[in-house]
Amino acid sequence: MRLSSGLTSYAIIVLSFLIFLLWRLGSLVPGLSQAEAASRSSSNDLSGLLTNPADAPYHLIQRLFSIIHPGFFSLRLASFFLAIIIALAFYAYVKNLFGRVIGLFGALILISLPFYAIAARQATPQIMLFMPAALIYAYAHLSKARKKKTAWLALVLVAGISLYTPGMIWWTIGGALASHKKIAAFLASLPSAAAGLGIGLFCLVITPLIVVCGLHLASLKTVLAIPASMPRPEHFGAELVRMFGSLIVKSPGGNNLLLANLPILNITVLALVVFGSYALFTAARGKAIAFGSNILLAVILAALNSNVAYLALAVPVLIITATAGLRYLYVEWRGIFPRNPVPKTFALVLIAAVVLSQLYYTANYSLRAWPRSPSIQQAFVLK
């Protein structure tokens, strides 16, 4: 029996993960980093979630995998598992925007971003910072889903789980405010029982978060991604510049998700983001403004906490924009000779070459250069 074209694309994404990100997952580095050891401790002793619920869904999944098969591999498999879900949700969204082929290439660009690939290979909850991809898809799926009740329940479940990730509450509140009219209209079209069930499910998911944060205000700051002491204005301004520069020019270093001082976006992805920004601002200005606001929020949170990891909140929209750039180039290349089949094939070949070069770059980056870096070898030594 032949697979449908849609299932084939999903299969390619999963296969890319299995080959590209699962290789030596438990042994590529000699041990655990301090962040991984802390995550292991939180997962082994879940009673700590009663005082700090941040990233609780991740620790529950990590604990489950560790019970099934203890070891470094199982610890990191939690990130790998969530990274697959996020990538598939990302593909489902960009496929609806730009078509199946361009959507597949866009999802492969996400996978090939070293910042994402390395997060997917570490036993830390930092992979949860890419959750905007799943939330964007869950929201966009509302208007097109045939089973609207299921889509509604999926949205509230994803939104509730996302709130446990530090910083995601601001992203979720902003999205809810921007789309409250559409959500209200959708709820009006649902039976009262289905709408109430979704609201009840959301309350059930976030009740532990509310209770624990109410009893322990320090954990509330963690969930809100607010540092214990706010930086001085001049320090915050300098951090804003530095964190924005981490996206495109030079990262501050000292983070296990990046190699040396390399920026999050390489020159190829940055060029696609520029093309995509132009295309989105021309054809969908409202969406472009929303994406820009998302990037600004991520930069602000990263600057407040002096932590480049919070820039992961902006990665999904940056890669959506890069995918829009692929679509723009595809249309432009085809428009050279609109009645000739050659430009279409040639355009796809060029796009495939760009994506394959990205995969090759990240394979060298995350599987060869990154684990051999002296700083990484010094960081991953705990047992």
Handedness of CA 22, 24, 25, 29 (dihedral sign): negative
Handedness of CA 89, 153, 221, 303 (dihedral sign): positive
Average pLDDT over residues 123-150: 90
Most confident region among 18-27, 152-161, 258-267 by mean pLDDT: 152-161
Q: What is the pLDDT of residue 211?
A: 95
Which tens digits make up the pLDDT trace of 214-255? 999 889 999 999 998 889 999 999 999 999 999 999 988 778
Compute the CA torsion angle 212, 214, 220, 221 (nearest 10 deg). Answer: -140
∠ CA 171-224-265, nearest 5°, is 55
Average pLDDT over residues 16-20: 73
What is the model's pTM?
A: 0.92
**pLDDT bucket at 278, cuts 50 / 70 / 90:** very high
Which tens digits make up the pLDDT trace of 162-182? 999 999 999 999 888 888 888
Q: What is the pLDDT of residue 336?
A: 65
* Interatomic CA distance for residues 308 and 223, integer angstroms: 17
**Each residue of 291-326: b (16+ CB within 10 Å) or e?**
bbebbebbbbbbbbbbbbbbbbbbbbbbbbbbbbbb
Average pLDDT over residues 73-101: 93
